[in-house]
Amino acid sequence: MKITIYSAMVILLSGIFCIASAQTPAAGNGSSTSTGPGYTLTLTQPTKNFKVDSPIHVTMTIRNITNKEILWRAIPSTAKDSWYAGFRFLLAKNGKEAETTFFHREISGRQRPGDPNEVMSGSTILLPKPPGMIFVIAVDLKHLYQITEPGQYTLEVSRLAEDGKTFVHSNLVRINVEP
C-alpha cells in the first residue's frame, strides 16, 4: 500500500513538473520565437511628374520574404478602400505633412472638429500568405491628401507588424508635382 501511494505521488509530481516546464521558456531562449515580420513594403519610384489637377498613383508592393507562410492581419470588408486602414501614410513637402483628406483622418484616427463622426471599426482576421508576392497596390494619394500645390513631396508608408510592437517601413520615394 505504501509503495502504491509513493508511486502515485511520484507520478503526480512528475506530471506537474512536466506541465510547468512545458509552459516556461527555456533559459537563454528569449521570450519570443519570432524573427521579424517576414515581409517588406516597397514603393516604386515614379518616373514621371504629376500635375496638381491629375490623379497621383504610386505602386506599393508587399512581399513575403521568408520561405514559409506568414499571417497577414486584414480587416474584413466589402469596401474597396478598406485596405488603406492597415497602413500609415506620410506624404510630406519641405518636412511637413501635406494636408490630409477626411478619409485619411478617418482611417488614421485623427479626426478634427467639424469632421463627420464616423469611426472605423470592426475586427481583424489573420490570413495565411505564401512566400513571394503578397499584394501590388496602386496607392491613390489624392484619396489621402489634398495636393493643391506644385513641388517635391516625399512618401513613406509603414505598417504595424502582427507582433504589435514593430513597424515595417517602406523606402522613401520622391513625387514631383507640377502646376
Decide if 153 contacts 147 (C-beta within 8 A). yes
Q: pLDDT tens for residues 70-127?
A: 888 887 776 778 889 889 999 999 999 999 998 888 888 777 787 677 655 567 788 8
Query: Taking 50 as the threshold, does the pLDDT of residue 23 lie above it?
Result: no
Q: How high is the mean pLDDT of the chain?
A: 79
pLDDT digits over 36-76, tens only?
789 999 999 999 999 999 999 999 999 999 999 988 888 77
Across 3-12, 29-38, 165-174, the highest mean pLDDT is recorded for 165-174
In this structure, what are the phi and psi dihedrals at residue 156, rounded to the nearest 5 degrees?
A: -135, 140
d(CA 136, CA 167): 19
| Residue 153 belongs to a domain | yes
CA gap 170, 144 in Å, rounded: 17
Q: State the Cα–Cα distance between residues 13 and 16, nearest whole angstrom.
A: 5
Residue 38, classed as helix, strand or coil, is: coil
Provide the domain count of the chain: 1
Q: Give the pLDDT score at 24.
A: 32
Tell me the residue range of the domain where 78 lies: 34-178
The enclosing domain of 160 has a CATH number of 2.60.40.2360
Q: Are 141 and 57 in contact (CB under 8 A)?
A: yes
